Amino acid sequence: MNRLGVAIVGCGLIGQKRAQALGDAARLVVCADVAKDRAERLAASAPGCTAVTDWTVAVNDPAVSVVLVATLHDSLAEITRGAIEAGKHVLVEKPAARNAAELAGLAELAAQKGVLVRVGFNHRYHRALQKAYAIVQSGDLGPLMFLRARYGHGGRVGYDREWRADPAKSGGGELIDQGPHLIDLARWFLGDFAEVDGFAATYYWDMPVDDNGFLLLKTASRQVAFLHASCTEWKNTFSFEIYGRDGKLDISGLGGSYGVERLTYYKMLPEMGPPETTSWEYPMADNSWRVEFAEFVEDIRLGRQPAAGLGDAVAALAIIDKIYKVSGYDHHA
């Protein structure tokens, strides 16, 4: 089989991770970054790969079938649009834009151009979340009642001087950084949210964007997602808890400084009392990037809409937009 030609736009940490996760079905043909040396370093890792500073060159390269967009938030939507217009499939990193408005019309454009757009909600592809999703799909947990999740890190010296602290580049703070993963996972399990409440605040870091976001989301049938994202969490934390009528799933850790990835399944017994308790740990390296991209390759082969697409990004951003508004942040101005 011909390996898909891939362009990576944005050759920072995430672009590099993507390059390593292409698998056998794709090959890196062009790297684009405004910093020439970054593009060149990444290009050097793949035989025959070229380096450019102008992303329009990359997305229009005839050898390219798929564009991976891993830039700062302020150009995610624009480059995605450019790639679609060039007739390329796109994997754009979350949040895919600084706000929902930036994505207006993109889904229609992609449909018209006959290309697929996947949004990089890679957390869905972590082993523990994949297994949790399978358990929920099997019906063993019964109908879902609510979710509770927290995700956070402790920043680092100078965090408030980085690009994430500049709303023109980032579109916001913690809520648009780690928040989209929480919102997307919640929607993956519960579906769309009909009511959105919450609050974003800047407690610690000296920056005009939020460092904490609290969300109380409800589906039309009043299932709650109770979510908190923080970059003043001090001890890196990921916890995602799913409650069904017949049991509970508790996912914690994402590997590395977030602790070993683990899924615990509490299965209620007819006599109630302490549940049957089984845990699965995943001490091995995170393979979510590889699995996600392999699924995208398969999407392309089958002409199948990606599981996580533009609609999911728009839905997450609409929630974030609303919380920013009610909390007094106006990053659109």
Summarize as ranges the residues that interact with its own copies (CB under 8 A). Answer: 145-146, 148, 150, 154-157, 197-199, 201, 203-204, 212, 214, 216, 218, 222, 224, 226, 228, 230, 232-235, 243, 245, 247-248, 250, 257, 266, 268, 271-275, 277-284
**Cα 79 to Cα 71: distance, rounded to the nearest angstrom:** 9
Measured from the CB atom, is 181 or 228 closer to its own copies?
228
Altogether, the residues listed in the chain come to a count of 333
| Sign of the Cα pseudo-torsion (287, 292, 293, 297, in order) | positive
Cβ pair 226, 146 in contact under 8 A: yes
Q: How far is the CB of 109 from its own copies (least distance, A)?
A: 38
Measured from the CB atom, is 199 or 305 closer to its own copies?
199
Measured from the CB atom, is 133 or 226 closer to its own copies?
226
CB contact burial 140-169 (16+ within 10 A = b; e otherwise):
ebeebebbbbbbbbebeeebbeeebbbbee
- Beta strand residue intervals within 21-139, DSSP E: 26-32, 50-52, 66-69, 89-93, 117-120
Q: How far is the CB of 185 from its own copies (least distance, A)?
A: 17
Q: Give how far Cα 207 sits from Cα of 157, 165, 199, Å.
A: 13, 6, 17
Q: How far is the CB of 55 from its own copies (least distance, A)?
A: 34
**Cα 236 to Cα 258: distance, rounded to the nearest angstrom:** 5
Q: How far is the CB of 254 from its own copies (least distance, A)?
A: 15
Q: Give how far Cα 87 sits from Cα of 4, 114, 184, Å.
A: 14, 7, 27
Measured from the CB atom, is 46 or 260 closer to its own copies?
260
CB atoms within 10 A of CB 221: 10
Q: How far is the CB of 199 from its own copies (least distance, A)?
A: 6
Q: How far is the CB of 175 from its own copies (least distance, A)?
A: 13
Measured from the CB atom, is 125 or 205 closer to its own copies?
205
Measured from the CB atom, is 24 or 271 closer to its own copies?
271
**Cα 8 to Cα 59: distance, rounded to the nearest angstrom:** 9
